[in-house]
Amino acid sequence: MGHRIVHGGSELHSHTLLDDDVRARLDRVADLAPLHVPQALTVLDAARDLLPGVPHVACFDTVFHAGLPVAAREYAVPSRWRDAYGLRRYGFHGLSYAWALARTAELLGRRPEELHLVIVHLGGGCSACAVRDGRSVDTTMGFTPLEGLVMSHRSGSVDPGALTWLLTRKAVSADEIEDALNHRSGLLGLSGTSDDTRDLVRSRVAGDERAALALDVFTHQFRRGIAGMAASLGRLDALVFTGEIGEDQPEVREEVCAGLSVFGLTGGLRPLIAERPEIISEPGARVPVVVVPTGEAQQINLETRALLAHR
């Protein structure tokens, strides 16, 4: 059995066969991704109890980014924080990115290690990744899956000075800040009504100004993220959308691409025809726009089989 584990922390940086030692290490990193890891460990423990004779493999979202260059990995904070606490950028959505990279290479008729791509994962959690020569060289998420772009109900990056100001000057507790940033922010916090882009697109058409604001901030942040990721590439061979929103929300794709003419991207994207990888930009576009349906489960399957084949 293969299990998706969002955060491997500083100790677990490859997909790993589970044993009691690995399971204990997972407890130590659970609080780094509180929306994901504790729940995954509950399922993992139940599966190990029900199927004790079956190998179990932990597949980490952080593995795809394990080789991030130092400049993209390190925070400009005191060395003690980095050395003693492992405070660094890890990156996430790695299983999704690995699947999208391989499918894009097949679609373009090139090898993954030949490609320079920006891949954006748009779902409940959102991030962007720069892939150069088939390897992750930058990404928008960092120490936890909270950093980076605006998400469904997560804030993305917020000025840390604003958070310490709330904590020290306005007596907002750390627990309240953590809860608000993880559960009551993002599209939900901006719109006040929904964290679902489908609802917000309909509400914007009906004249809801807060829904329009939420979508404007969301797509603006994505254009910023894509531009930032492109700065780590020598060229841009394609822009790739994956994740539930990336696959299912043509209005978001259109608004993101229409505002990136500086990179040779344009609007006028066609709808996705089928649930398979497709180029949705016009024929002959300077930079192809690709949609790859989310394949995290399929990637876990591949990684698990590959690891067990070499036991």
Residue 109 burial class via C-beta count within 10 angstroms: exposed 0-12, middle 13-18, buried 19 and up: exposed
Spatial distance between the Cα atoms of 163 and 204, rounded to a whole number of angstroms = 30
Q: Which residue has the tokens 């930009």?
A: 281
Three-state DSSP class for 261?
A: helix
Active site residues: 61
Q: Please tell me the number of Cα atoms within 13 Å of 84 on its side-chain side.
A: 5
pLDDT by residue, tens only, the chain of 311 residues: 999 999 888 888 899 999 999 999 999 888 888 888 899 999 999 999 999 999 999 999 999 999 999 999 999 999 999 999 889 999 999 999 999 999 999 999 999 999 999 999 999 999 999 999 999 999 999 999 999 999 999 999 999 999 999 999 999 999 999 999 999 999 999 999 999 999 999 999 999 999 999 999 999 999 999 999 999 999 999 999 999 999 999 999 999 999 999 999 999 999 888 789 999 999 999 999 999 999 999 999 999 999 999 87
Q: Which two tokens stand for residue 152?
A: 């469904």
Whole-number pLDDT of residue 61: 94
Spatial distance between the Cα atoms of 181 and 185, rounded to a whole number of angstroms = 5
Select from 266, 224, 214, 268 the least CA-distant residue to 245: 214
Q: How far apart are the first and last CA of the chain?
A: 15
pTM of the model: 0.95
Whole-number pLDDT of residue 95: 97
